[in-house]
Amino acid sequence: MSEPLRLGVAGLGTVGIGTVKIVQNHAALIQRRTGRPVVITAVSARSRTKNRDADLSSYAWEDDPVALARREDIDVFVELMGGADGSALDATRAAIATGKDVVTANKAMLALHGQALAEAAEAKGHVIRFEAAVAGGIPVVKALTEGLAGNDIRRVMGVMNGTCNYILTRMESAGLPYAEVFEEARQLGYLEADPNLDVGGIDAGHKLSLLAAIAFGTRVSFDAVRLEGIGRVSIDDIRRAADMGYRIKLLGVAQMTGRGLEQRMTPCLVPADSPLGQLQGGTNMVVIEGDSVGQIVLRGAGAGAGPTASAVMSDVIEIARGSRIPTFGQPATDLVEAVPAGTSAPAPHYLRLELADKPGALAKVATVLGEEGVSIDRMRQYAHADATVAPVLIVTHKTARDAIDHALSRLPATGVLIGEPVAIRIESV
């Protein structure tokens, strides 16, 4: 029988225990599929006495994850602690330095330190696998690095934060305002300890930056991701988007353009009858467009013990089989510095304005938009409880975002604008 692949698991939270249970419950199945046993040798977590609903008695315990990473009786360091820096980063560096392969679910660490970690691992002939770091149980990293490796990738986009999708779809289905659904999500335990990681688009932006590196052969450039959260999306926006056949999603888009690499994680309108438009609740979806394959849609659970642990084990199994794919699909030293796109590709935009209900108000708005090169496709006016206020919704033709922003910055000077205008991109799907 072949030698077992020995794992050291750091982090025994939801995903860590989910991983332990897969190893324990599917040992025979995994051995048949890999040709060798996969076993856990040692584990590490903050508390040894916590009840974790799993039998850990046969594993060595290390209080310090760095000590776990350096143990001579593990082959693969499985990092499930989270956090961009601190113990997770220290332990991962220690594992690489002592010749271990690494499997991680830590998108923040890779988004900020992935290039250096990949170069260090690959210099020693070892791999870092991170399927679980992006979109939970959806095998999108494998799709890009293997299944679609023969394609020139044109665009990667998707809904990559289930909490945001839950909030937006719950607002629509229940007719509730953002603040109320946000608090509901908090009570249900859907939000991170720092909620801005979710609703501010940071968590999903980390994921997008990793997919962009694979798709376009560039170094991870999270700092170049344009981030805008969902906090300004109102129930009125959701209702009015629905009137026009759209739904609002926190949508990540990465594409290489003549202006450079465009990466944005922002609220967008998508057609309600599209796969992204129909996505409900906490589910994730990633859409990949390649020159040969066309459009591929991957949909599934983006978080949770089972789906994320499934992704962890897919990486472990590939290592057990002898797969040695570079971290980002090609040698890390070959990745090029991305030139960030200065502006987004032109697109239609949804504009929500509240105007003073007096003659000439719309004309003044139309004049400013026209002077900035923003062409109006459709326009609607809605009733308001306050008869002095006229809510107006405008859909533009394809327009550069810079032109939209410049036009909106000029509107207060017209004297007809009430409150702050809202502009949301309409994405073609």
Residues 225, 265 contacting (CB under 8 angstroms): yes
What CA–CA distance (Å, rounded) separates 7 from 77?
Answer: 6
Q: 24 burial class (0-12, 13-18, 19+ CB within 10 angstroms)? A: middle
What CA–CA distance (Å, rounded) separates 306 from 19?
Answer: 8
Residue 1, number of CB atoms within 10 A of its CB: 7
Q: 153 burial class (0-12, 13-18, 19+ CB within 10 angstroms)? A: buried
Catalytic residue list contains 207: yes
Query: Dihedral sign, CA of 167, 106, 313, 297?
Result: positive
**Given phi > 0 = left and psi -120 to 50 = alpha, else beta, which region is 46?**
alpha
Tokens of 72: 């001579």
Residues 171, 230 contacting (CB under 8 angstroms): no
What CA–CA distance (Å, rounded) separates 144 from 88?
Answer: 26
- 57 Cβ contact partners less than 8 Å away, ≥ 6 residues apart: none
Cα 7 off chain centre by: 27
- 353 Cβ contact partners less than 8 Å away, ≥ 6 residues apart: 365, 391, 392, 393, 394, 411, 417, 421
Q: Say which of 100, 107, 142, 207 is annotated catalytic.
A: 207
Residue type, 92: T
Helix (H) or strand (E) holding 157: strand 153-159
Task: From 138, 336, 142, select the one nearest 256 (Cα to Cα).
Answer: 336
What CA–CA distance (Å, rounded) separates 71 from 240?
Answer: 58
E strand map for 206-332: 226-227, 246-257, 260-271, 283-290, 294-301
Residues forming the active site: 207
